[in-house]
Amino acid sequence: MPEPGAAPGVRGVRRARGTRAYLRAIGAIVWKDMAAEFRSRELLGAMLVFALLVVLIFNFALELDAAARATVTSGVLWVTFAFAGTLGLNRSMSVEKDRGCLDGLLLAPVDRSALFFGKAIGNLVFMLVVEAIVLPIYSLLYNVNLLLPGMLGAILLGSLGYVVVGTLLAAMAVQARTRDVLLPILLFPVILPVLVAAVKATTGFLQGLETADILPWIQLMVAFDVIFTAVAFMVFDFVVEE
Amino acid sequence: MGASPRGLKFLSWASVLMFGVASYLALVYAPREAVMGDVQRVFYFHVSAGWVGGLAFLTAAVAGVGYLLRGRRSWDQVALSSVEIGIAFTFINIVTGSIWARPIWNTWWTWDPRLVTATVMLLLYAAYLLLRQGIDDPDRRARFGAVYAIVGFLSVPLTFLSIRIFRTIHPVVIGNNDPTAQGAFDMTPRMLQAFLFSLLTFTVIYLTLLWHRTRLQRLSEHVEERKLKLLGG
């Protein structure tokens, strides 16, 4: 039995459908992205190799000896994630645009925000997979234990904020003439606060600071995630409108 | 569309006149600050320019919301005009701040929350202009501009907060002051008068420029349309 979840007739295209149907639509989009990636393996492979290359470059650019590592590890990690993330975001949206898939998705009788959440969750999964591989490798290479529970939480919160804004802006960037150069330029000034907070929280956990010292950064990330998820949910319609 | 409307003419002259008076107030009328000397006089225009920058970006975000809700082109014209003015005034704010900081902080630049936030705003709205440049369809350009103006404006206070959690050395002249700030001072009544007047002056200048620029944008869109019609027909 359908529940009156979404408000009916907000923009004509939207239909009042049950929450379950909405969740199913999101799940279908995530599943589509996963299946496509599983078969082609072009996105994760590129992100991963790129991420490891960035770590390698940092190793020589910063001379990551034991003393330097204690202070710059989280910075190196987040720059790596942010750069690899842009690759993934651009790719995941331009695939939809180039082969006309986006038009197909827009024709589907589901709320457009379901499309946004589907793509965002897909992007988050890709980013977390890259992080799940880079973190142990970094731990192994530099003999530091990065797999602390608090730190993983901080990385999850940071990635969430990054991906939410990134998915929205990537959807705009791929529709512009200058798309490949545009996404990082649009994205980095907006995600600066979440990046700063993520770096600080990660450093805090690595250096074993008190929870009270780390808490403001966690709160900032939570605030960022909540605000921008809500905003992206509200404005995504305008970004994909034809 | 004929010559400038009467209100705009009035505002233009008022801006010129008020700017003259504000310069006099800031450079002559206000007393010389005891510790910092004459370089403190940059304060009056520095804060006013920063205020106009913030006001302009707020206006752009509000106009963005207006455009998304109503879809009228005039909202978009206001937003674009406001962003351009905001960039100019934020730049003035940063440059005058650097001129003051050189003798007072002994450096042109430091990574203080206000300085970083002003710079990030500059980059953010430069990105806004690049985004618009990359899109040919005028409706889509307006829609994307509105979305980015809203998203960008919301992230600015969070940027400020994220860097504020570090210690700051920037003086807070209005409201209570952090004792660790360098270059702080208390305003005498004459200083306050000069300051409030330059705030008002810059606000009037902003409104005048916004009107001029919006009008220019409307006219250029008209010309564009006519050209297309002529070439098409």
pLDDT band at A7 (very low <50, low <70, confident <90, very high): very low
Amino acid letter for position A211: T
**Best-predicted range by mean pLDDT among A198-212, B79-93, B160-174?**
B79-93
Residues in A closer than 8 angstroms to B127, CB to CB, are 185-186, 189
Q: Of the candidates A186, A192, A224, which has its C-beta nearest B148's C-beta?
A: A186
Q: Is the pTM of this model over 0.90?
A: no
- Statement: residue A10 has pLDDT above 70: no
Q: Report pLDDT for B170.
A: 67
- Statement: residue A226 has pLDDT above 70: yes
What three-state secondary structure class fits B175? Answer: coil
Q: Do A178 and B136 touch (CB under 8 A)?
A: no
Give the model confidence (pLDDT) of B155-176 as tens digits. Answer: 998 888 888 775 555 666 665 5
> Mean pLDDT, to the nearest integer, of A174-193?
91
Answer with the residue of higher pLDDT: A117 or A15. Answer: A117
Answer with the residue of higher pLDDT: A100 or B146. Answer: B146
What is each CA distance from B186 to A139, B29, B175, B200, in whole angstroms? 53, 17, 10, 20
Q: Do A172 and B144 touch (CB under 8 A)?
A: yes
pLDDT band at B178 (very low <50, low <70, confident <90, very high): low
Q: Report pLDDT for A6.
A: 44
Q: Are A83 and A54 in contact (CB under 8 A)?
A: yes
Q: Report pLDDT for A2.
A: 41
Give the model confidence (pLDDT) of A108-138 as tens digits. Answer: 888 888 999 999 999 999 999 999 999 999 9
Q: Is B74 exposed, middle or buried (0-12, 13-18, 19+ CB in 10 A)?
A: middle
Q: Where are the alpha helices (DSSP H) in chain B?
A: 6-24, 42-70, 73-104, 113-133, 138-164, 189-232
Q: Report pLDDT for A17.
A: 53
Between the two ends of chain A, the Cα-to-Cα distance in Å is: 32
Q: Of the candidates B140, B146, B161, which has its C-beta nearest A193's C-beta?
A: B161
pLDDT band at B122 (very low <50, low <70, confident <90, very high): very high
Give the model confidence (pLDDT) of A34-60 as tens digits. Answer: 998 888 888 888 899 999 999 899 888
Over pLDDT 90: what percentage of chain A? 48
Answer with the residue of higher pLDDT: A185 or A14. Answer: A185
Domain boundaries, chain A: 19-240
Q: Report pLDDT for A227.
A: 96
Q: Of the candidates A190, A216, A223, which has its C-beta nearest B152's C-beta?
A: A190
**How far apart are alpha carbons B89 and B58 in whole angstroms?**
13
Q: Report pLDDT for A64.
A: 76
Q: Of the candidates A177, A216, A238, which has its C-beta nearest B165's C-beta?
A: A216
Q: Which long-range contacts (CB under 8 A, 24 or more apart) does A217-222 make?
A: A217/A154, A217/B165, A218/A153, A218/A154, A218/A157, A220/A193, A220/A194, A220/B158, A220/B161, A220/B162, A220/B165, A221/A154, A221/A157, A221/A158, A221/A161, A221/A194, A221/A197, A222/A157
The distance of A220 to chain B (nearest Cα, Å) reads 7
The distance of A50 to chain B (nearest Cα, Å) reads 25
**How far apart are alpha carbons A18 and A15 in whole angstroms?**
9
Query: Which chain B residue's Cα is nearest to A242?
Result: B140
- Transcribe A210-242 into DSSP letters: -HHHHHHHHHHHHHHHHHHHHHHHHHHHHHH--
Q: Report pLDDT for B127.
A: 96
Q: Are A127 and A51 in contact (CB under 8 A)?
A: no
Q: Report pLDDT for A13.
A: 47
- Statement: residue B194 has pLDDT above 60: yes
- Statement: residue B177 has pLDDT above 70: no
Give the model confidence (pLDDT) of B53-67 as tens digits. Answer: 999 999 999 999 999
Residues in A closer than 8 angstroms to B135, CB to CB, are 175-177
3-state secondary structure A120-169: HHHHHHHHHHHHHHHHHHHHHHHCCCCCCHHHHHHHHHHHHHHHHHHHHH
Whether the CA torsion A197, A202, A206, A208 is positive or negative: it is: positive
Q: Report pLDDT for B164.
A: 77
Q: Report pLDDT for A135.
A: 92
The H or E element that residue A49 is part of is helix A43-61
Provide ipTM, 2 decimals.
Answer: 0.86
